[in-house]
Structure 1
């Protein structure tokens, strides 16, 4: 079957898969590969319309590093995972919680493009705000609402926080669908 999609659709599909793998506690390298690819596409699309308007650009500006140094830091793990020409014997060491932040920023980039955010993206944002309340403020309305969906999440192990997110995502998809707009397949004669 031929796959046809826009860059935006590709990024959304990659991000949704990253979120599914993330909550199912699958390999953090696979999660990072998908999440970073989606984030890169979405940030590039934002910057195409609004130069330096992406969340990635804001991170670079606020890092205190040169643009080249900041992008090297942001992209170091995904570059390790997709290139071996200069460093075939290199080893990777990263904190898998970095994936949490990459996915969240990718969902923000998607929102900058006018979305719509899929159910998985929205569920992830709620989980993230409940898990990291200090990122935008413990008392902000979004964090308070998110924490009500995940009571006591700050006291759970990472494994249990992910399981809680998976349960939340599964329930949301059952209730609201996955949020993707799909083209109907043409029906065959006689169907």
Structure 2
């Protein structure tokens, strides 16, 4: 099986679980695996992965610090720890984890997929827009209010469960939109 297909399937499943508000640990584990694959594939293809853009734009973050933060929870979910310090660090990380840790990880996976493939499934497009709407101060992007996606207006101001319901609705709307589904930038 092709490694890009594996990452795509991991990410599709993670996004589905995420918007189902189901099993945030599995979401993080799947997205973490996809993230590593997609980042490596971007580098191999000569595309700048998302993490490289973040590091380049923020001199306070080096690659080791970025990866340590990115992998904190994923490693805590995979490893008990061999030393007392590792066990303690992993226990602390597991106890501090919340589903909100998945938001940025899923977004970075989608970003890397888009950088690599230049097209994506409706689920990835919905996740991408959902993140931008949920975190309007994190990214320099055009205002979504100017778009026809009224569903996303003020997403950042509503409760989390409703935000995720809107993510599901967005995916359904995208899949029922023939213009979007027939666009060459949309994968099936």
TM-score (norm 1): 0.79
**Conservation of the 8 A alpha-carbon contact between 2:144 and 2:152:** no
Partner Cα distance (1:47, 1:76) in 2:
22
Structure 2 residue corresponding to 1:8, chosen from 4, 7, 30: 4
SS in 1 for 2:60: coil
Shift of the alpha carbon at 1:156? Answer: 1.3
Deviates more, 1:110-119 or 1:53-62: 53-62
How far does the alpha carbon of each residue in 1:134-171 deviate from its partner, in whole angstroms, 9 at most, with x for none? 22346x15574275332332331001111111122133
Partner Cα distance (1:136, 1:146) in 2:
20
* Residues 87-102 of structure 1 mapped to structure 2, 5 A cutoff: 87-88=86-87, 90-91=90-91, 92=94, 93-102=96-105
User: Where do 5+ consecutive residues of structure 1 fail to align?
Assistant: 182-191
CA 1:146–1:44: 2 relative to 1, 3 Å: farther
Structure 2 residue corresponding to 1:106, chosen from 97, 105, 109: 109
TM-score (norm 2): 0.80
1:150 aligned residue: 152
Structure 1 stretches of 4+ with a deviation exceeding 4 A read: 174-177
Partner Cα distance (1:146, 1:22) in 2:
24
Partner Cα distance (1:50, 1:21) in 2:
31
Partner Cα distance (2:120, 2:7) in 1:
12
| Larger helix proportion of the pair | 2
Partner Cα distance (1:170, 1:57) in 2:
32
1:167 aligned residue: 169
Structure 1 residue corresponding to 2:73, chosen from 77, 80, 97: 77
Partner Cα distance (1:159, 1:55) in 2:
27
SS in 1 for 2:12: helix
- Greater gyration radius: 1
Q: Say yes or no: does 1:41 pair with 2:37.
A: yes
**Conservation of the 8 A alpha-carbon contact between 2:24 and 2:98:** no
CA 1:143–1:103: 2 relative to 1, 3 Å: farther
Deviates more, 1:21-30 or 1:109-118: 109-118
Shift of the alpha carbon at 1:95? Answer: 3.5
Cα RMSD after superposing both structures: 2.4
